[in-house]
Amino acid sequence: MERQMTGAKMVVQALKDQGVDTVFGYPGGAVLPIYDEVFQQNDIQHVLVRHEQGAVHAAEGYARSTGKPGVVLVTSGPGATNAVTGLTDALLDSIPIVVLTGQVPTFLIGTDGFQEADTVGITRPCTKHNWLVKDPNQLADTIHQAFHVSTTGRPGPTLIDIPKDVQFATGTYVSPQKARVSHYQPRMKGDTDAITQLAEMMEEAERPVFYTGGGVINSGPGASQLLRELVEATNFPITSTLMGLGAYPASGKNWLGMLGMHGLYEANMAMHDCDLMICVGARFDDRITGRVDAFSPGSHKVQIDIDPSSINKVIHVDLPIVGDVGHVLEDLLRIWKSKGRKTNTDALANWWKQIDAWREVNCLSFKNSTKTIKPQHAVQRLEALTRGMDRYITTEVGQHQMWAAQFLGFDEPGRWMTSGGLGTMGYGLPASVGVQMAHKESLVINVAGEASWLMNMQEMGTAVQYRLPVKQFILNNERLGMVRQWQELLHGERYSQSWSEALPDFAKLAEAFGCKGRVVKDPADLDDAIREMIEYDGPFILDVLVEKHENCFPMIPSGEAHNKMLLGEASTADAIGEAGAALV
């Protein structure tokens, strides 16, 4: 159906037609016509954030926890530049979001007008694609294209810059069905010959391991289901990146835990010693590989990825399979089953014996205390008291993030929202707001560090305004813990600028925001405090005062191989060489 309407009305109509129910945003001069249309309808709920970065992270949380694209509406200039960190975060973690920005009217573009910024220029490298729309007749079509691009293939952020005069002007609206079918149609099906070859490799492998990542989750719940079936049927061990937690259940018997720099000993050792590595929707990030030339030296590597540029980018793989994880796993299962469901069971039994020996190292052990709360213990108790609940976890970035990944178990995809690729401090609180908007009745907890949390703490206002009962679980060590840890290991214990001075009283801060807070510092009170946080009907800030100098282990020192893990304090002396120190 073709209809005449203003650009501003088209924006709202296009969002409705795309099935959008929630928009995170912040108004300003260049988006006033769109906000006027938002005012005059009830189908889409607008969530007023306190800072545009918060809007983007909230949209990311919404997207990750629902599988639907998150939508952001902000103004020109500072509104757009404040969104840049969130866009980059979404790009690196492949999160589908659509950001609409206002722009000065077309006749002012290029004149350094008030609140003018070259938004498409600034965001070109941090979006999957972006558009400046100068013709109202192109607006609806462009919005539909943006949704298509964001959600097709490897997901990612898109941005549409809409000048104010285009919002006022009248044009023809086109529906999503009538929109120009974009030529952007990435290949979904994997090459059958390659998949057959993988099935044959699986039959013969003596020490196989599945190395899975965020791509499994992005591929949809079907892909996670197929992965589980495949792991079950083959009895291969499986590990996952930070981004992929939950695709295979943490309670599954083949689960090795997370791999990588702060991953589990058994997971990293299995990666190092395997003879067949099946990489499913992961991208050999430097946090995963450690030293590249010593990465899993004796293995054949197979990589399944929808993005051809992920293949051979860091690690040369022997068998690349370009395609959607869900499609490829479906074909793989079918082919492997039709060939007789064979695995090298004797060798596999020995491999599991070896893995069990690594498991006995008990790499996550830590010395608990009755005097101070150990951060690991706090996360362990959080896990014990919330496991089995309808629970979503977000995190900030740092030590607490790694402890959360190590000690919390995820049995379903889409339950774990964290900033993996970009490592954005300040992600967790707004993300928890976005998750809670999508899952009103669920328990949403942001596992945070006090320094990260302060970076976007203004979003507590959003949580209170929309009655979102998000739980802020702050592991407060009054330090930038991970920075401090690196300074201890690498920079002669010179703790340059890595402490949190003049911290607010978080319980009083909660009160000031109009929600509830509590400080806990005695291990004996911890369970009670966590219970109070969970049971409180509203947003809650729990300030957990933890051991200040705890380090996060295990750890692969930078510039080292997987089998050179540090397991605890005793092994840290001179662990990182000069070359390693240059790496971040």
Partner 1 sequence: MNALKIKKGSSRKSAYELRDPNSDVVETHTLAVIVDNEPGVLARVIGLFSGRGYNIDSLTVAEVDHTGHQSRITIVTGGTPAVIEQIKAQLGRIVPVHEVHDLTVEGAAVERELALFKVAGTGDKRVEALRLADIFRANAVDSTLESFVFEVTGAPAKIDAFADLMRPLGLVEMARTGVAALSRGGE
Q: Enumerate binding residues for partner 1 (CB under 8 A).
A: 120-121, 124-125, 128-130, 132, 149, 153-154, 182-184, 292-293, 307-309, 311-314, 316
Least gap, CB of 351 to partner 1 (angstroms) = 28
Quickly list H helices, 205-252.
Answer: 214-218, 221-234
In the structure encoding, which two tokens stand for residue 208, read together?
């196989």
Annotated active-site residue in 5, 9, 52, 506: 52
Pick the closer one to partner 1 by CB: 122 or 335. Answer: 122
Contact 101, 157 (CB under 8 A): no
H/E element, 79? helix 78-82
- Residues in contact with 242: Cβ distance below 8 Å, sequence separation at least 6, in sequence order: 258, 260, 287, 405, 418, 420
CA separation for the pair 245, 239 (Å, rounded): 9
- Give the nearest distance from C-beta 556 to partner 1 in angstroms: 18
Of the listed 115, 225, 354, 458, which one is catalytic? 115
Cβ distance 510 to 580 under 8 Å?
Answer: no
In the complex, minimum distance from the CB of residue 142 to partner 1, in angstroms, rounded to a whole number: 11
By C-beta, is 24 or 284 nearer to partner 1? 284
**Cα torsion angle, 417, 248, 558, 568, sign:** positive
C-beta of 123 vs 344, nearer to partner 1? 123
Task: Give the C-alpha separation, 401 to 360, whole Å.
Answer: 24
Nearer to partner 1, 163 or 414 (CB): 163
18, 188 contact by CB (below 8 A):
no
Choice among 164, 301, 374, 471 that is catalytic: 164
Q: Least Å distance between CB 163 and partner 1? A: 13
Instruction: Tell me whether residue 138 is one of the annotated catalytic residues.
Output: no
User: Which of 110, 222 has the CB closer to partner 1?
Assistant: 110
112 vs 293, which CB is nearer to partner 1? 293
Q: What CA–CA distances, in Å, run from 16 to 358, 433, 539?
A: 53, 22, 30
Residue pair 546/559 in contact (Cβ under 8 Å)? The answer is no
Q: How far is the CB of 290 from partner 1 (least distance, A)?
A: 14
If we measure between CA atoms, which residue out of 419, 546, 420 comes closest to residue 474? Answer: 546
**Of the two residues 133 and 437, which places its CB atom closer to partner 1 in the complex?**
133
Rounded CA-CA distance 297/319 in Å is 16
Taking residue 577's Cβ as centre, other Cβ atoms within 10 Å add up to 12
In angstroms, the CA 357 to CA 511 distance is: 50
Rounded Cα–Cα distance for residues 365 and 376 (Å): 9
Question: Is residue 258 helix, strand or coil?
Answer: strand
Respond yes or no: is residue 271 known to be catalytic.
no
Report the SS3 class of residue 313: coil
Strands (E), 49-190: 70-74, 97-103, 129-132, 157-163, 170-173
- Nearer Cβ to partner 1 (100/451): 100
HEC letters along 509-556: HHHHHCCEEEEECCHHHHHHHHHHHHHCCCCEEEEEEECCCCCCCCEC
Closest approach, Cβ 309 to partner 1, in A, equals 4
CB of 47 to partner 1, least distance (A): 28
Is the Cβ of residue 51 or residue 154 nearer to partner 1 in the bound state? 154
From the candidates 277, 482, 533, 565, give the one annotated as an active-site residue: 482
Q: How far apart are CA 241 and CA 43, in angstroms?
A: 38
Q: Which of these, 570, 577, 563, 554, lies nearest to 262 by C-alpha position?
A: 554
Q: Kindly state the smallest distance separating residue 116's Cβ from partner 1, in Å.
A: 17
Active site annotation includes 471: no
DSSP 432-498: HHHHHHH-TTSEEEEEEEHHHHHHTGGGHHHHHHTT---EEEEEE-SB-HHHHHHHHHHSTT--TT-
In terms of CB distance, is 152 or 172 closer to partner 1? 152
Judge whether 473 counts as a catalytic residue.
Answer: no
Q: Is residue 115 flagged as an active site residue?
A: yes
* Minimum distance, C-beta of residue 86 to partner 1, in the bound complex (Å): 19
In this complex, which beta carbon is closest to partner 1, that of residue 349 or of residue 583? 583
Other C-beta atoms lying within 10 Å of the C-beta of residue 432: 32
Minimum CB separation of residue 307 from partner 1 in Å reads 6
CB crowding 398-416: b at 16 or more within 10 Å, else e: bbbbbbbbbbbbbebbbbb
Least spacing, CB of residue 263 vs partner 1, in Å = 22
The catalytic residue among 114, 232, 339, 440 is 114
Q: Which positions are annotated as active-site residues?
A: 52, 114-115, 164, 482
